């Protein structure tokens, strides 16, 4: 019978298909794992550029779309812009039409979390980051003065707003570091690892010909990491580096142009990125943003050969054993020189299978949500 079994409302900050960037990858594959576990999903998604999806409509019991209000007037309100721009009277009406539990995806979607009308409902918030720290770090990495002001301003609002999480029955955190932080403040955080597209380890034995870095280069943090690799790590290196990502900035393009061993590839599709991850000898993934977990790290470990990272990328993820960690340009260069000579073996793959399939199993982690 169509309406029998457990039902769950999911409020998503964006339409989670296609699952082609960090946040929506976690939402989509979590949704799919929940459906596989027999949960009937009522999806509520805010729309601002992405199209409605037949795939989602086939997967879910119902799908509702709401236009996100991205007008600049929202910037001057007390509530953070990422939250207030995702409010809708139709959404609250739809939530009140039954008594099913509600999963709020990201702090972004929590506008109605403290609403008195939802007081008796089971409410779970999936946190993707410690948002005020994330925005503060975005500000530090941003060269545009107006964007930097926006990120600092949003960070201040988010730090105050975050206490709304005391209204959640459960905070489903995406990393052990975030779990520790939210538990110390609200006492109701449970670690549910990131959901992803992989069902097995696809890494290839042998050697590749290049090192690879990828990310959305329009984001200051990724631009900073790419510039760090170009200007500090790969300068005078015999190792070839490929960098792929959308909208690379002028500084990065200029820096790459002066290096014979570095190639910049812009605006590739998801399959092309995945193929480059698979073929690379080393996926090089520094980050200067220590909150949450980077899904491109999981992609590199499930699909790539060697992974070279810095401490903020991997600390307390349980994945340290699968990576080489180096925190200075000199240490990274030394590691590159050693790794480029090594063969990636079946022993390396077996270790990944053991650790990844135990900790990042979508089916098992969906059951941990205890809907």
pLDDT of residue 104 exceeding 60, the answer is yes
Q: How does the average pLDDT of the chain come out, rounded?
A: 94
Q: Give percent above pLDDT 90 in the chain.
A: 87
Mind listing the pLDDT tens digit for each residue in 322-362? 999 999 999 999 999 999 999 999 999 999 999 999 999 99
Strand ranges for the chain from DSSP E = 7-12, 40-47, 62-67, 102-105, 123-126, 170-173, 189-191, 211-214, 241-245, 262-266, 282-285, 306-309, 324-325
Question: What span, in angstroms and rounded, lies between the C-alpha atoms of 193 and 189?
Answer: 12
197-202 contacts at long range (C-beta below 8 A, 24 or more positions apart)? 197/19, 197/25, 197/29, 198/298, 198/299, 198/302, 198/303, 198/356, 198/360, 199/362, 200/302, 200/353, 200/357, 201/301, 201/302, 201/349, 201/352, 201/353, 201/356, 201/357, 202/278, 202/302, 202/303
Q: What DSSP string runs through 98-117?
A: S---EEEESGGG-TTTT-GG
pLDDT of residue 1 exceeding 70, the answer is no
SS3 percent helix, strand, coil of the chain, rounded to 5, is 45, 15, 40
Question: What span, in angstroms and rounded, lies between the C-alpha atoms of 292 and 313?
Answer: 9
User: What pLDDT does residue 364 have?
Assistant: 95
Question: What span, in angstroms and rounded, lies between the C-alpha atoms of 306 and 300?
Answer: 8
pLDDT of residue 141 exceeding 90, the answer is no
Mind listing the pLDDT tens digit for each residue in 32-54? 999 999 999 999 999 999 999 99
User: What pLDDT does residue 75 have?
Assistant: 87
Q: What DSSP string runs through 295-321?
A: HHHHHHHHH-SEEEE-HHHHTTTT-GG
Averaged pLDDT, 143-155: 94
**pTM of the predicted model over 0.75:** yes
Q: Give percent above pLDDT 70 in the chain.
A: 99
Averaged pLDDT, 161-172: 98
Give start and end residues of each alpha helix (H) in 47-144.
54-59, 81-84, 89-95, 131-141
Could you tell me the pLDDT band of residue 294, with boundaries at 50, 70 and 90?
confident
- Look up tokens 């009937």; give the residue: 40
* Complete domains list, the chain, with CATH: 7-192 (3.40.50.2000), 211-358 (3.40.50.2000)
Question: What span, in angstroms and rounded, lies between the C-alpha atoms of 22 and 296?
Answer: 8
User: What pLDDT does residue 4 have?
Assistant: 54
pLDDT of residue 21 exceeding 50, the answer is yes
pLDDT of residue 81 exceeding 90, the answer is yes
User: In Å, how far are 21, 261, 292 from 295, measured between CA atoms?
Assistant: 9, 27, 9
Q: What letter would DSSP give residue 73?
A: G
């Amino acid at each position: 019978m169509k309406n029998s079994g457990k039902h769950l409302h999911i409020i998503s900050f964006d339409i989670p298909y296609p699952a082609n960037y960090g946040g929506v990858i976690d939402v989509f594959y979590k949704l799919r794992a929940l459906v596989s576990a027999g949960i009937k999903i009522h999806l509520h998604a805010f729309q601002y550029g992405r199209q409605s999806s037949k795939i989602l409509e086939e997967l879910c019991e119902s799908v509702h779309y709401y236009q996100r209000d991205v007008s600049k007037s929202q910037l001057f309100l007390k509530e953070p812009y990422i939250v207030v721009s995702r409010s809708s009277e139709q959404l609250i009406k739809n939530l009140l039409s039954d008594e099913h539990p509600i999963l709020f995806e990201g702090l972004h979607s929590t506008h109605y979390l403290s609403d008195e009308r939802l007081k008796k409902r089971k409410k779970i918030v999936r946190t993707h980051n410690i948002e005020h720290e994330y925005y503060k770090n975005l500000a530090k990495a941003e060269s545009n003065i107006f964007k930097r002001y926006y990120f600092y301003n949003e960070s201040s609002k988010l730090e105050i707003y975050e206490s709304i999480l005391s209204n959640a029955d459960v905070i489903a955190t995406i990393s052990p570091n975030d779990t520790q932080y939210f538990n110390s403040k609200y006492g109701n955080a449970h670690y549910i690892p990131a959901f992803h597209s992989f069902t097995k380890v696809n890494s290839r034995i042998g050697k590749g010909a290049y090192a690879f870095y990828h990310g959305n280069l329009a984001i200051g943090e990724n631009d900073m990491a790419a510039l760090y690799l170009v200007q500090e790590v790969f300068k005078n290196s015999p190792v070839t580096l490929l960098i792929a990502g959308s909208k690379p900035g002028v500084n990065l393009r200029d820096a790459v142009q002066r290096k014979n061993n570095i190639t910049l590839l812009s605006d590739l599709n998801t399959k092309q990125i995945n193929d480059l991850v698979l073929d690379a000898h080393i996926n090089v993934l520094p980050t200067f943003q220590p909150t949450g977990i980077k899904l491109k790290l999981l992609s590199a470990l499930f699909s790539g050969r060697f992974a070279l990272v810095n401490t903020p990328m991997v600390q307390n993820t349980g994945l340290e054993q699968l990576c080489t960690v180096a925190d200075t340009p000199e240490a990274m260069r030394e590691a590159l020189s050693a790794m480029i000579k090594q063969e990636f073996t079946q022993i390396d793959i077996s270790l990944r299978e053991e650790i990844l399939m135990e900790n990042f199993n979508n089916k098992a982690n969906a059951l941990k949500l205890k809907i």
